[in-house]
Structure 1
Amino acid sequence: MRFTPIQTLFALPSIRSRLIAIVLATAIPAAIALGVMAATFYGNQKKQSEIDLLQTARALTSALDRNFSIGLNVAQALAVSSKLQQSDFAGFHAEAKSVLNDRFPGFTFVLSDESGQQLLNTIRPYGEVLPRHGNPENLRQVFLTGKPSISDLYMGGVMKRPVVSIEVPVWRDGKVAYALSVGFLTDSLTRILTDQRLPEGRMAAIFDPQGVIAARTHMAEQLVGKKGAPVLLQRIETATEGIVETHTLEGLGVIIAFNRSTETNWTVGISMPWTVVLAETLNQIALIYGGITVLLLAGVATVWVIGGKISRSIRALAAPAIALGTGAPVVVLDHGPIEAIEISHTLKAVERELQQYRDHLEQMVAERTAALQASNRELEQFAYVASHDLQEPLRMVVSYVDLLARRYGDKLDKDAFEFIGFAREGALRMSELIKDLLDYSRIGRQDGHPEPLDLRELATEALNNLRLALADSGGTVVLADTLPTLVGNRVELVRLFQNLIGNALKYRRPDQPPRVEIKAERDGTAWVIKVADNGIGIAPEYRERIFGLFQRLHGRNAYQGTGIGLASAKKIVELHGGHIWVQDAPGQGSVFCFTLEDKASLPVDMPSAQDQG
């Protein structure tokens, strides 16, 4: 036997040093992964912030519309007052003034004639000499059209402050005799913004149809009455809502979400500085970096201790191992670490059983078969990971194609835009296909154990997932009053119902909305679940083919899809010990049937297959 010189042994790295090197080596990909994660986290944080800002802008626009609507409704009610019809202006002055209170958003009512002369103003005693209306153009529109009108921001004639007014016509003898205005101070508009209690760092503003700032949560005294940022105003002219990255009038770099009312043409904008998004992201990343550093140091310390113990255990096993290799009797250790003593006992057992292993070739074949099955599972896992990693290049293709269209759009002709559209559509379709493949590969590998499940509850959950598709198609889904409780995997059975109902909504007839009916019938020891629809149906020769992977009976221009949904349904049913088939005729709808074994208590009033013919 050949032995390695002692000097060479001491020159080789020890187990302890190798383990420490492994721990440190894991820090390199961890650092790279953390960098990628930081970039992804920042993008996600930015996107979520944009969504939150846009939702807040919508809510504030609705609140603004409500205030204007309240003022309009009250003004229209006062415009038909009997006191006005009787020219009792003093009585009408008192009546209108009684409406003004803390709950009413307006601050004054003004009655003007066609020349613009104010006849009464509730913020002044009746009979006092009043100036002309501060917005004659808006007043003129009311007399010309006979319709209510909401003004832009203007300087009030009495208070000499920025105001907004809603003018409504006052009819007498079939013509517009006066215009009744309800005025809103910018303070009431600002109160709409402050009542929202925006998070720290967020700013809000209200813009009139001309893009003039009517209210603002920050620096209102300096900026109310001035036009908003040009980039924002350009977007407001072309879209009812959106996200803009620009600078505020005070020069602060921000993300702005805006929403323009389709009723009044007024706009609410919510902004957040870039520094806020960056600070929130950096705080999270700092916590992650700190945690990883602590874990790394703890790992090195733990490996140092464990490595020493492993080294001593291995050295204790050297003598029994050499004895087994040379054919000498194996001496069982009677001291040292318990692991070393156990292994020495194992070596002694190996010594006795080596001869017997020659008679167990068939067992070895079985073990190799098991290893092959494990290898197949690893290959399936590899396919899943590979498919998952394909998503990133596709996202890059879509991003760069979009960037090409935005940056060089003015230099591209119609054909180029069409080619860009083809490329983008193809990448998105490939992304959808990969996603479906990932879902298909996960079937049978979901977390959780089989449990008793109420199929009606699962079908209802699937319907909640499909509520947008239901709304778009105008379809209805009818569930039997009672569906059985069976044992299965919750996630996979919800996906089964979702795939079958989704197909029924997709392959519908163009002349009528889809209708889906789900019921169950007992068949011996199993249940037959039926999902029936009134769609386009499937010809008999395709009834087996449709359950194959990537099988489609229609072109993508006719119906979207990847051809994986029914293959997934079949795999789920078979993993639950059942089988699936279809009963239908072209043009008369389809009935998808699948069986599930009865392994749980069942309702006694469920109909059987024989009972229903």
Structure 2
Amino acid sequence: MNREVGGLDASFGSSPGASLVAPPGASPVCRPFLDADWWQGCRQVLGRWRRSLRLWLTLFFLAAALAPLALGGFLASRSLEALLREEIFQKNMILARSIASEVDDHFSDARNLLRQISSTLSQDDLIADRDVERYLEIVRTSSPLFDSITLVSEQGRVLYRAPSSEDHRGLDLSGESFFRAVLRGEDVYWSTSFMPQHATSPMTILAIPLGRVDGPKDRDVDGHARGVLVGYLDLAALGDLISGIVLPGTTYAAVMDSAGTVVGHTHRRFTEQRVNQAGLEGIREGLAGRESNFIHFHDQEHLASVAVARTQGWPVMICQPISEAFLPARTMEQILAGITVGAAILAMALGGIVAARLLRPLLLLRRKTRSIAGGDYAASPAAMPYQELEDIQEDFQLMVQAIATREQERDAVIHRLDRANADLRRFAEISAHHLQEPSRRLVSFADRLGASLAGRIDDPDSLLDLGYISANAQRLRSLLQDIQLYLAAGEPMGKIQSLDCNTLVQGAARHLGQEMEQAGATLHVGPLPTLTMDRPRLMKLLTILLENALIYRRPDVSPRIDVQGRRTERTIRLSVADNGIGIPEHYRERVFGVFERLHSGQTYPGTGTGIGLAIVRRIAESRGGRAWIEDSDLGGVAVVVEFQVDGVFESIP
């Protein structure tokens, strides 16, 4: 007999339901989240919460309290914001128009002053040529509007300038845009703002034509200007006008020129930096001469209103941050949030009170249910505060009475069945025991009769009959012994102890040593777990499985038997696999029946009474386990026996 002891195949007995475990390299923080048991626990907790009446009642009160508040607060906040937006737009537009009017007055004063100078200079008898420059200087110094005033001839040469400067006298300005515009026929020309060198505030140019009193007002008979009077306006006064306006919070005002460049701002740095706002939608509308209200983003959202200074078409903008504009709405939202929190707390308290009031009778009913589950069918019903619960309890009492009645009937039937089973078992044991002696004597007398008649009779039929008598007497004796063994297999036959399955397999192999050597069998035994059980029955189980593997072998192949085992958290599994003839799948359950054989003793000598696998299953079931047959990797079948780790030893009738 050849024996090999190998390692246990790690995949043996694996099942799709095995628990997931975290990989060895997983982080300790992530390890709990990779454990299937952890996720299963979370699902169970969520499932209990989802089915909690207390939770649903509390959520109902929360929804009933918070939904109207939330919806009403949202609608009120949006309505208030809309009203505030319209009110702020109107207020800012009024302020922008007021500033635009002051800007208009500022530039109108400059234009009127320049026209007055033009009218004075057009009268030749009023001021002599030598006094023109002095006259311009007196006008400039008496009015803060102009930084300088220049008289240009119709050829574009500088004639006079105040303040006086020899560097500018005779300077050719015919290429300047203001000169060309006046010569084209414009009565008033306003330039965009610009920042002169070494200046701290921007300037703009105002140019008008210069004519005579006795002819057309300021042009000759051909419509050409007799000269151009140019004033350079310092826009610092405009900046002082804007910065002097008192605005709430961080609201600011700004004036842009015809190119969209800031020329006056509440914060002077925007003027000095020459910030251009022509890209804003509202400024584009203002440059086109239209008033508008819009929202723009600069660091934060602003409500902006744009009016237009009609004298030169420059837009004036008032901007207020939305955070300040909507401060009343935000305050109201905070108040509503506080009210909502208070309502939520009150709703949760009311939900808890109502839930306790409703659930207390149910808890009493639950306690009674547990008492009934413990066998106390006489538990007195509790008083219910609500008619509906009272009706439920009455129906419950009727159900309990029906269950008690049926249980009494069932107990009576079980008692009769137990007594009948005990009688049948006792009868079977006594019958098997008492029939042993007649069967033994029948075998003995048949053998003695055959021995005494040997050589004295020549009738072959008589000798054959004697052989039949002896063989059937032996079979009857074997059947009786197996019946006794089957009946005894349902209860322990010895001390319950921890057994080494490896040692028992080797003992069973030694018991079958002669048969294994004759068949040339090879036995492979993997590491087997220990099993708490009585030794006689476990030894009988292993012997039956090894013997079946030897009997039902293929005639042209040496038998190979693999014994493997595996222990999990809840089960211990043993498997005996072979390379024999196998068992068709539709017969694999049938062979566990008593006296069920698929092959006769003539085909496979050594075939028993057909009760071996029935004994195996009976031993497994008495230990809370089971037995089944599956395909083997060796080509035959594997008989698998599974025991519960904490299985209770039961007596099987």
TM-score for the superposition, normalised by structure 2: 0.35
Question: Which one scores higher on RCO, CA 8 angstroms, separation ≥ 6?
Answer: 2
TM-score for the superposition, normalised by structure 1: 0.37
